[in-house]
Amino acid sequence: MTSLPHTLRIGSGAGYAGDRILPALELAEKGQLDYLVFECLAERTIALAQLERSQHPDRGFDPLLTQRMQAVLGPCMQQGVRIVTNMGAANPLQAGHEVLRVARELGLPQVKVAVVLGDDVLEVLSARGMALPLMESAHTLASLQDDVISANVYLGADALLPALQTDAHVIITGRVADPALFLAPLMHSFGWAADDWTRLGKGVLVGHLLECAGQITGGYFADPGFRDVPDLAHLGFPLAEVDASGDAVITKVAGSGGCVTTATCTEQLLYEIENPARYLQPDVVADFSQVRLTQVGPDRVQVSGGVGQPRPDTLKVTVGYREGFIADGQMSYAGPGAVARGQLALDVLRIRLNEAGFADCESRYELIGVNTILGDRIMPAPELGREPSEVRLRLAMRVKTAAQAKDVVNEVEALYLNGPASGGGATKSVREVIAAASVLIPREWVTPSVLLLEN
> In the complex with other proteins, which residue's Cβ is closer, 41 or 163?
41
Asked if residue 264 lies in contact with residue 218, where contact means CB atoms within 8 angstroms, the answer is yes
| Interface residue with other proteins, options 17, 164, 434, 441 (CB under 8 A) | 434
- Closer by beta carbon to other proteins, 35 or else 333: 333
Q: Nearest distance from residue 314's CB to other proteins, in Å?
A: 17
If we measure between CA atoms, which residue out of 62, 70, 60, 63 comes closest to residue 24?
70
Nearer to other proteins by C-beta: 267 or 413? 267
Stretch that binds other proteins, among 154-162, 401-409, 431-439, 440-448 (CB under 8 A): 431-439
Q: Tell me which of 402, 433, 442, 455 binds other proteins, using CB under 8 A.
A: 433
d(CA 6, CA 242): 9
Q: How far is CA 373 from CA 42, 289, 397, 403, in A?
A: 22, 31, 16, 28
Looking at residue 147, the DSSP 8-state letter turns out to be: G
Q: How far apart are CA 148 and CA 135, in angstroms?
A: 16
DSSP 444: G
Q: Interface with other proteins includes 208 (CB under 8 A)?
A: no
Among 132, 244, 271, 387, binds other proteins (CB under 8 A): 271
Q: Do 210 and 184 form a contact (C-beta atoms < 8 A)?
A: no
Residue from 162, 276, 337, 388 in contact with other proteins (CB under 8 A): 276
By CB under 8 A, residue 128 contacts other proteins: no
Q: Is residue 436 close enough to count as binding other proteins by CB under 8 A?
A: yes
Q: Give the nearer residue to other proteins in terms of CB position, either 106 or 435.
A: 435
**Residue 308: strand pairing partners:** 286
* Interactions with other proteins, residue window 284-323 (CB under 8 A): 289-293, 305, 323
Q: Which residues ranging from 32 to 71 are in contact with other proteins (CB under 8 A)?
A: 43-44
| Element containing residue 39 per DSSP (H, E) | none
β-bridge mates for residue 170, sequence order: 83, 113
CA distance 36 to 46: 22
From the CB of 371, what's the least distance to other proteins, in Å? 10
- CB-based burial, 393-404: b 16+ in 10 Å, e otherwise: bbbbbbbeeeeb
- Interaction between residue 274 and other proteins (CB under 8 A): yes
Q: How far is the CB of 398 from other proteins (least distance, A)?
A: 6
- Residue of 83, 84, 75 lying closest to 108 (CA atoms): 75
CB of 187 to other proteins, least distance (A): 26
C-alpha dist (Å) from residue 436 to 34, 318, 454: 35, 6, 35
Task: Kindly state the smallest distance separating residue 198's Cβ from other proteins, in Å.
Answer: 17
- The residue type found at 439 is V
CB of 447 to other proteins, least distance (A): 28
Task: Please check whether residue 414 is in contact with residue 348, taking contact to mean a CB–CB distance below 8 angstroms.
Answer: no
Site string for other proteins, 369-388 (x = CB under 8 A): ---xxxxxxxx---------
Nearest to 216 by CA among 256, 268, 263, 276: 268
Give yes or no for residue 398 binding other proteins (CB under 8 A). yes
Choices 111-119, 252-260, 266-274, 417-425; region in contact with other proteins by CB under 8 A = 266-274
- Give backbone dihedrals phi and psi of 135, rounded to 5 degrees, phi first: -70, -20
- For other proteins, the binding residues (CB under 8 A) are 43-44, 135-136, 220-221, 223, 226-227, 262-263, 266-267, 269-277, 289-293, 305, 323, 326, 362-364, 366, 368, 372-379, 394, 396-398, 433-436, 438
